[in-house]
Structure formats: structure tokens, C-alpha cells
Amino acid sequence: MDLSEFLFQPKRQVKDALPAVSLFSGAGLSDVGYDQSGFNFLAQSELDPNRATLCGMNFPQAVSVVGDLRDTWQTVVAKYKNRTSEQLCLLSVTPPCQGMSSSNPGRGKASDSKFRDRRNRLLLEAIPVITELEPRLVVAENVTQALSEAIQVGDRLRKVVEAFSEELKNYHLFAGIVQMADYGIPQLRKRSILVAVRRDAPWLPQLLDRNLLPWPRPTHAERPVDSLLPWVSLETWLNKMSYPSLDAQSKETAHDVIDPLHFVPVYEGDRYLWVADVPPHSGRNAYQNSNCRSCGRQDVPEGMALCPFCGKPMRNRPYVRENGTYRLIKGFDSSYRRMPPSRPAPTVTTASSHLGSDYRIHPWENRVLSIRECADLQTVPRFYSWDWAVSTRHTYLARQVIGEALPPWFSYLHGEILRALLSNHVPVGELAHS
């Protein structure tokens, strides 16, 4: 199966599905891939009721436990044990990453340290569930900073991963970083991955002896060698998917009449010029727009809010007016910028609709990406139902949960590896190397 087939295939029904539980489940997007590879989620735990509702619509067979895991972990354990007497095969743990994400503007501030410390400890909240259910495998993923982030333990700082590993005496912990573009996903998205394997697993010594990692080896690379394929560029992907054109200039042009998820925000007046005047396919940003909309000069130097030739505001540069004067909006070089078409898409985040966020403008159309395009870039299968979010006007939630997820194509590939290992087969040629 390739990525295109994965996106458009119907939901699979695996007869010999292995029991699984997920914690910090969100809307279940990361679980979708494991489910498609043959894991059956019997219980899912999520703090936010709306995310849990969306998740429940797509996993009707799972018991949903809503609330803070620190308060509900015993319920999660009890619900699983009520469902089956089988040993748990997979526990998936995907805690929120905002406390550690480099895109979080509050990260690292002293005033935020207690809040960050609590958020960064969420991985450790899985320990009681692991202790009680003794899963054969534990998988956790987060942003790359999770491997180096520290928490306060007594009077000293310790890495979260070290604390997690030391609590799991009966497990061997594998840790690494994976780049989603290395698996044919048309998106640059690095994530840390942890896989804890019970020490009594008969295949564990073979992994250790051969320096193998319990996740799939890359199939693509930025600079391909051997049998690897080149990364999939955003231009190649968008052309292949053939989305109906949209334009942010009006409500009529910003919405697709067929797909309720294929729409974008409307930008009025000068705000639309910030997008429209950035040349298509250029990868440039709106601060680099050098044509004055008032006098027609084409050579206005960068960094100026007013045209030096006519004195009028540079309407196609991101600006604000304060006390009768104009200034450019402070932003990074990547703000108000078109996505480079020749590379995979920048990381899809929860802020995918924010024009001023990093690399958010479509490579050649005058808009940001739609929810549908973001979902496809995150490889969410089309059978996933967004009906609740659309019917209750929670489409903003769709953007958020899409930006939070581990791409299901990767979790599907990973699930295939894990099922092989659990059947005592080590697919040497398909495993990553340390």
C-alpha cells in the first residue's frame, strides 16, 4: 500500500486485531494508523470533552474516559479489564507538546516554569497505567525537545525521558527522532519517538545485537542514496491531489461548494494585498513586496512602512496604524511568507490558518491552506469522519487536532512493524538502525 491508497482506502476490519489503549488520545488521529495496521483500541483517555467526542465518533468500539489522567487512570485500567482478559499489546501515549514546543512563545520564561514543569511531566502520568496493565509495548511520541526537556525532581533537574525509563524497570527503552518526510509524507515534521519493550520479549535480544530500532526504516531522503526516494515536494503533492482553487478575496471564492473542509479565511482590504502581491511560486514574504500600490513605484526598499517616493503607506506590507502613524508588524523572516513549492510543506501546526505564522501562504494561490489540505498533508484517511465538527461549527477544532497529531501514515507503518514483532518475527530489512 502507498500513501495515496492509504488516504482513500475504506476503513479496514482486521479479524485478529490486537488489544490497544491510548492516553492523551486527542481526536484519535494518531490512533487511526495503528488501528488500520491491526490494533483494536478498547479504551481511550482524553482531557478535552470536544476532542473526546470527535474521537468517539471515529472509534465507537472504544470506551472513552474523559478527564485529567491523574484523576482517571484507575478508570482507564478498570475499563480495559472489563473489556477483555487479554494482555494489553500496545499502549500509545501522546501527551500535548505545547509546553515543550519551540513554537510556544512562553517556553523558557521563568514565570512559566511551574506550568511548563507540570506539562512536561505528562509522559510520567502514564506510569501507573503501565504498571497496572503491563503492556507488551509502549509507544510515546512528542516534539523533538521532549528528549532533552528537564523537570524538577527533588533538588535537581532530570530529563523527562531518563525519569520515564527509570520508572520502567521491566522495559528496555528505545528513543530517537524521526522525520516524517523520510516516509514519503509531503511535510517536514520531526518528532521524538519512544518505544518501551518488555524485557521478556523473545525478539528483544536480536534488536539489541543488530542495533535495530523498533520503528520503520526511512524510504525517502532529502539527498537520496541507495534505494531511497527523494522527498515529496509540496508542488508535486498539490498537483497530484488536484484541489479546487480557492481565493481569500471573498466568501464566494474562499469556499468549495462540495467539500465542507475545503475553505479558507477571507482577507479584506489591504490584508488581502499582503497575500496577493507576493509572487506565486516565489517563496517570498509580504515584507519583500516592493511595489507601491499608491504611486506604482516598483523599487521601494525593504523595512519601510511608507513609500519614500509618495509618502503613502505600503499597503501590501504587513502594517498597523498607531496614533496616526504607520509601522510594519513585527515578524520573523518566515512570517507572511509563501510556502516553498519545491520542498515538502512546512510543519502543519495548530496555527495553520494564521497568516502571520511561519510559512502559511499557499505556494501560488492567494490564501492559506484549507482544513482538507492540512488533513491530507497529515495523512488523515478520508474515511475519518469530521461530521460532528462541521455540524456543530467546531471546524477550528479540526485545524487544532490535525496540527497536534502524529501522521497516521507513519503510525500505520509503525503498527505494521509492531505487529510483526509481537508475532515474534523480526523484519530486519524494514527496521531503522541506530
User: Within its chain, how far is the Cα of 225 from the centroid?
Assistant: 27
Q: Which residues pair with 193 in a beta bridge?
A: 141, 176
Residue 106: is its pLDDT beyond 70?
A: no
How deeply is 211 buried, as exposed, middle or buried, from its count of CB atoms within 10 A (0-12, 13-18, 19+)? exposed
The confidence band for 155, taking pLDDT boundaries of 50, 70 and 90, is: low
What is the tens place of the pLDDT at every residue in 273-331?
A: 999 999 999 999 999 999 999 999 999 999 999 999 999 999 999 999 999 999 999 99
Most distant CA pair in the chain: distance in Å?
78
CA dist., res. 27 & res. 384, Å (int):
10
CATH number of the domain that 150 lies in? 3.40.50.150
Q: What is the structure's pLDDT at 143? A: 83
How deeply is 116 buried, as exposed, middle or buried, from its count of CB atoms within 10 A (0-12, 13-18, 19+)? buried
Q: Are 427 and 420 in contact (CB under 8 A)?
A: yes
292 is a domain residue: no
What is the tens place of the pLDDT at every residue in 174-191?
A: 999 999 999 999 999 999
Q: C-alpha distances in angstroms, 341 versus 63, 235, 249, 375?
A: 42, 5, 22, 18
Average pLDDT, integer, range 206-210? 98
28 is a domain residue: yes
Q: Are 71 and 50 in contact (CB under 8 A)?
A: no
Q: What is the structure's pLDDT at 108? A: 43
Q: Name which of 71, 63, 27, 25 is nearest 42 in CA terms.
A: 63
Residue 98: is its pLDDT beyond 60?
A: no
92 is a domain residue: yes
300 is a domain residue: no
CA-derived radius of gyration, the chain: 23
Q: Name which of 7, 377, 429, 407 is nearest 227 in CA terms.
A: 429
Interstrand relation of 90-93 and 137-142 (parallel, antiparallel or unpaired): parallel
The confidence band for 162, taking pLDDT boundaries of 50, 70 and 90, is: confident
**DSSP letter string, 33-68:** HHHHTTEEEEEEEES-HHHHHHHHHH-TTSEEEES-
Nearest-5° angle of CA 140, CA 185, CA 178? 35
How deeply is 125 buried, as exposed, middle or buried, from its count of CB atoms within 10 A (0-12, 13-18, 19+)? middle
**DSSP letter string, 132-182:** HH--SEEEEEE-GGGGT-EEEETTEEEEHHHHHHHH-TTEEEEEEEEEGGG
CA dist., res. 295 & res. 308, Å (int):
10
Q: Which domain covers residue 141, as residue numbers?
A: 3-228+406-433
Q: What is the structure's pLDDT at 13? A: 84
The confidence band for 119, taking pLDDT boundaries of 50, 70 and 90, is: low
The confidence band for 153, taking pLDDT boundaries of 50, 70 and 90, is: low
- Count structural domains, the chain: 1
Helices (H), 297-382: 371-377
265 is a domain residue: no
Residue 80 vs residue 225, higher pLDDT: 80
Residue 197 has a CB neighbour count (10 Å cut-off) of 22
Residue 109: is its pLDDT beyond 60?
A: no
Counting residues of the chain whose pLDDT is more than 70, the rounded percentage is: 93
Backbone angles phi and psi of 23, in degrees to 5: -115, 145
67 is a domain residue: yes
316 is a domain residue: no
Backbone angles phi and psi of 175, in degrees to 5: -135, 145
392 is a domain residue: no
CA dist., res. 185 & res. 196, Å (int):
25
